[in-house]
Structure 1
Amino acid sequence: MAETVIMVTGGSGLVGHGIQLALEEDKKPNEKWIFLSSKDADLRDREATKLLFEKYNPTHVIHLAAVIKALSNNMEDNCKLLRVNCQINDVVLDLCKEYKVQKVVSCLSTCIFPDKITYPIDETLIYNGSPHSSNYGYSFAKRMVDVMNHVYNDQYGCHFTSVIPCNIFGPHDNFSLTEGNVMPGLIHKAYLAKRDDQPFVICGTGKPLRQFIYSVDLGRLIIWVLREYPEIKPIILAADEKDEISIRDATELVIKAFGYKGKIVHDVSKSDGQFRKTASIAKLRKYLPDFKFTPTKQAIEETVDWFRKNYETAKK
């Protein structure tokens, strides 16, 4: 059987590590996986990136690499984030065409969906309006990946597709209190509250609802998309809608995992943000009706355990 060589751009981040953890239980003998980081090449540089294709000769590519910043910086750097991400995507996808890569799976974001939209969102609604103005540069760059997938397929027959994950968390996340997402931020706050014997402060009321996906589950699903998913159109990867939980409930699971017994304070001077961002996974369930997601409680406990053990070196 011919060897399948899978090159993963941005492979040193949260999702790349999720794929690596998933492969520990599901690696095929004919597959060779190569996880790249920003140290391997500047993906905006076509010649430097071309050397990677010549070195590894990938048959498949999972494209995770992107430049993203905290919300405040997104608002200040919309132009830069649009240009840099479009450059990366243009170089990577065009070289995949040039080197006759059999399949590419790119990772998008739910930020590509319109700001004004009905819930639950699904894959048919991407172009029904503009993304939120706060990060439209990054959002439109990600949307363009879907456009590129279709034009490369139409003109050259390339099998380029993409996934749209919801709120991801897990080992190797960005646990920054200012730049991280909801779950890693809660985990870092709880760690500090217990260590310093301080109150745990929740921004807002804790009532907003969020759909989370454990990075290892996302890794399993991306591997399935690479091996089996037949469409060019993107697919949402998220936990079931029934497993959507409030920020308050997520906080309770985090503090129980830490054994924190201190005071919880709601800082209602801070905005709750969007109340819900529910995504439909009807399309995913059509393909994988029996896929079992890791229970949220277990996933949080495993992430907390990893953060405790790796606090000094974790991204924060």
Structure 2
Amino acid sequence: MHVLVTGGGGMVGRAMAATAPPDLRATFAASADGDLRDADACRRLFERVQPTHVVHLAARVGGVLENTRRVADFFRDNLLINVHVLEAARQAGVERVVSLLSSCVYPDGAPLPLRERDLHAGEPHPSNFGYAYAKRMLEVQSRAYAQQYGLNCVCIIPNNLYGPHDNFDLETGHVIPAMIRKIHAAAAQGATAVLWGDGAPLREFTYAPDLGRALWWAVRSYDGSPLNVGTAEEISIRQAAETICRLLSYDPTKLVWDTSRPSGQHRKPTDTSRFRELSGLPMTPFAAGAAATVKWYLEHFPHVRGMT
């Protein structure tokens, strides 16, 4: 088995590299190895690597602000990447493609917890509809290629991710790395850390190495319809911030919540029961995962993604 991991230079790709089974051969392809928006470049990558299996992680990603500002760019770039990767996999005779979606593909206002059967049951949230629809089309393309060409395609839907090698850019990063950077800076400067919203929304935060192990399990063992993957632990944004404050020796009472900024949907839990039953894999509690992530950040600061 030779596994090609697209997007291998990102957080999840690095997590897969750190958790790779010793008996598997894997090639981790980053953006420097080929622009997957270009069909010829994508085809050349597959010809060079000659994989038997693919884990497709490559995507243009960003936070709410970036998704809103560049909604068409996110739709176009992700659509092109996905179309080219699956077509190149088909032409190369790949045995299985495991593709990573996102929980944002679910309809805005879908029944909670979010279940896989509701994936296409309404429009996604308007804040990132371009990215969400491109990811939904990856699931549609996967089904179409399975039906017409017999390509074994699996789609994995993680909930909110964080961990080492995350993007700590304050405009394009997600909530956990942004909070780590802001609170770390405030602690160093003796200043106030200003966070968006009121801190009340509840989220499930999955530690990226846990997803790495889940993807290796899927490469070997999962055949079937889209599958929610991740922790079932639900905590508030405020609780997450206070945990990070303790890890960075910052007084959480000094946090200021800017309620003029959006807080986001109050809850959007995913039903990960099928994954837990099928895989039996444990999930890292947020307190432990946050501690490992903050430790990594401090060891690598300021040479972290989004700051250099």
* Structure-2 change in CA distance of 1:82 and 1:264 (3 Å): closer
Whole-angstrom distance in 1 between the partners of 2:93 and 2:206: 32
1:30-56 per-residue CA deviation (whole Å, 9 max, x = no partner) reads x21111111111112222222211111
- Secondary structure of 1:211 counterpart: strand
After TM superposition, list the pairs within 5 Å mapping 1:121-140 onto structure 2.
Answer: 121-140=114-133
Letter in 2 for 1:315: R
1:263-295 per-residue CA deviation (whole Å, 9 max, x = no partner) reads 22222333322111111112112203x421112
Residue in 1 that maps onto 2:40: 47
- Secondary structure of 2:200 counterpart: coil
After TM superposition, list the pairs within 5 Å mapping 1:129-278 onto structure 2.
Answer: 129-231=122-224, 233-240=225-232, 243-261=233-251, 263-278=254-269
Residues 96, 153 of structure 2: 8 Å contact kept? yes
After TM superposition, list the pairs within 5 Å mapping 1:270-289 onto structure 2.
Answer: 270-288=261-279
* Structure-2 change in CA distance of 1:253 and 1:69 (3 Å): closer
Whole-angstrom distance in 1 between the partners of 2:125 and 2:245: 32
Residue in 2 that maps onto 1:311: 301
Q: How far is the alpha carbon of 1:78 from its aligned partner? A: 2.5
Letter in 2 for 1:277: K
Q: How far is the alpha carbon of 1:67 from its aligned partner? A: 1.4
Residue in 1 that maps onto 2:2: 5
Moved more, 297-306 or 130-139: 130-139
Whole-angstrom distance in 1 between the partners of 2:80 and 2:260: 40
* Structure-2 change in CA distance of 1:271 and 1:91 (3 Å): closer
Q: How far is the alpha carbon of 1:177 from its aligned partner? A: 1.8
Residue in 1 that maps onto 2:91: 98
- Secondary structure of 2:155 counterpart: strand
Q: How far is the alpha carbon of 1:179 from its aligned partner? A: 1.8
Residue in 2 that maps onto 1:302: 292
- Secondary structure of 1:127 counterpart: coil
Q: How far is the alpha carbon of 1:65 from its aligned partner? A: 0.6
- Secondary structure of 2:114 counterpart: coil
Whole-angstrom distance in 2 between the partners of 1:203 and 1:69: 16
Determine if the alignment matches structure 1 residue 108 to structure 2 residue 71.
no
Residues 62, 174 of structure 2: 8 Å contact kept? no
Equivalent position to 1:16, from 13, 20, 33 = 13
- Secondary structure of 1:278 counterpart: coil
- Secondary structure of 1:43 counterpart: coil
Whole-angstrom distance in 1 between the partners of 2:278 and 2:84: 31
RMSD: 1.4
* Structure-2 change in CA distance of 1:33 and 1:59 (3 Å): same
Whole-angstrom distance in 2 between the partners of 1:74 and 1:269: 19
Residues 65, 171 of structure 2: 8 Å contact kept? no
After TM superposition, list the pairs within 5 Å mapping 1:66-81 onto structure 2.
Answer: 66-81=59-74
Whole-angstrom distance in 2 between the partners of 1:102 and 1:16: 20
What is the total number of aligned residue pairs between the two structures?
305
- Secondary structure of 2:147 counterpart: helix
**What TM-score does the superposition give when structure 1 sets the normalisation length?**
0.93
Q: Which runs of 5+ in 2 are unaligned?
A: none
- Secondary structure of 2:32 counterpart: coil
Q: Which runs of 5+ in 1 are unaligned?
A: none
